Amino acid sequence: MGTHALRVMTAVRQGFIVARTDFAWFYTWKTWLGGWLVRVLCQVAFYSIIGVTVGDPDYVVHVVLGAALMICVAESLMTVASTTWDLNLGTFPLLAASPVVPGGYYFGRSMMWPLSATATTSIAIFTMSLFFDLHWTAADVPLVVVLVLLTSFATYCMALVIGAVALLAPGARNVMSAVVTMAITAFCGAVVPVDFWPSGVGWAAQAVPVTHGLNAIRHLESGADLGVVARSAGLVALVGVVWLTVAMIAFRGLLNHSRRGSASLS
């Protein structure tokens, strides 16, 4: 393993230590289960009931899975805010002065969100399945969790890019994540199919990981061939890698700019 790869892994580990500490400050297991998880289940149930009022069983499945995957998106996009916390805490100049690999550090820095998103979304899917007639085989269960994990991390990579932009305008971080969440909810197949929108919107939606993650999980629930599921999963991974590459470049540029004395990031 090369020296650079070891430096990247060290930076990820160091960032993850910060992420773990932040998450422990946010939640205990009691508040996560009794507060956050209950809130998530109520939100998914609310949108699912709206689907029931339409009277189409297929649409109910569509909305249940869409609402559950949007939890994954919303939680992963909390990364936008946590990426700026080093600025708020006054530790960003120390980070800029250190020899850390910026992209590696920030990849670990907010990793608590996609991990938590995987747990909450998986629990939401299987809990709502008991009430809204979604069907899974025993073999489907681990596949669903893997697909949710993949979608969470691919969305996380997209959120890192937005977080890099938020470092330049930290006061707008919550607005950025809220606007992106609403746009994804509307245009990426959570509530209505992507092809409902004009073709230009549909093409743009292909750049969003959850578009393909939703397709993969819906194909799995409908009993489609695993090759079809794998194709959608592959697109999730591909889009996530592209976003991650952009994020690595962005963080390196921002930290290098700061190391040269930029006041806008101090």
Averaged pLDDT, 29-55:
88
Lowest mean pLDDT, pick from 88-92, 93-97, 108-112, 259-263: 259-263
Q: What is the pLDDT of residues 217-249, one digit of tens each?
A: 999 999 899 999 999 999 999 999 999 999 999
pLDDT recorded at residue 122: 96
Q: What is the C-alpha to C-alpha distance for residues 102 and 96, in angstroms, rounded to an integer?
A: 8
Q: By CB neighbour count within 10 A (0-12 exposed, 13-18 middle, 19+ buried), where does 221 fall?
A: buried
Band of pLDDT at residue 3, cut at 50, 70 and 90: confident
Sign of CA dihedral 182, 265, 249, 151: negative
pLDDT recorded at residue 262: 56
DSSP string, 5-42: HHHHHHHHHHHHHHHHHHHHHH--HHHIIIIIIHHHHH
Total domains in the chain come to 1
Cα dihedral angle (167, 18, 81, 85), rounded to 10 degrees? -50
pLDDT recorded at residue 264: 53
pLDDT recorded at residue 256: 81
Residue 111 CA, distance from chain mean position: 10
**Does residue 133 carry a pLDDT above 90?**
no
Band of pLDDT at residue 157, cut at 50, 70 and 90: very high
Reference 79, options 205, 216, 173; nearest CA is 173
Q: What is the C-alpha to C-alpha distance for residues 244 and 6, in angstroms, rounded to an integer?
A: 18
Reference 163, options 153, 151, 149, 177; nearest CA is 177
**Does residue 6 carry a pLDDT above 80?**
yes
Q: Which domain holds residue 116?
A: 3-265
Mean pLDDT of the chain: 91
Tokens of 243: 């976003």
**Does residue 265 carry a pLDDT above 60?**
no
pTM of the model: 0.93
**Does residue 266 carry a pLDDT above 60?**
no
Band of pLDDT at residue 146, cut at 50, 70 and 90: very high
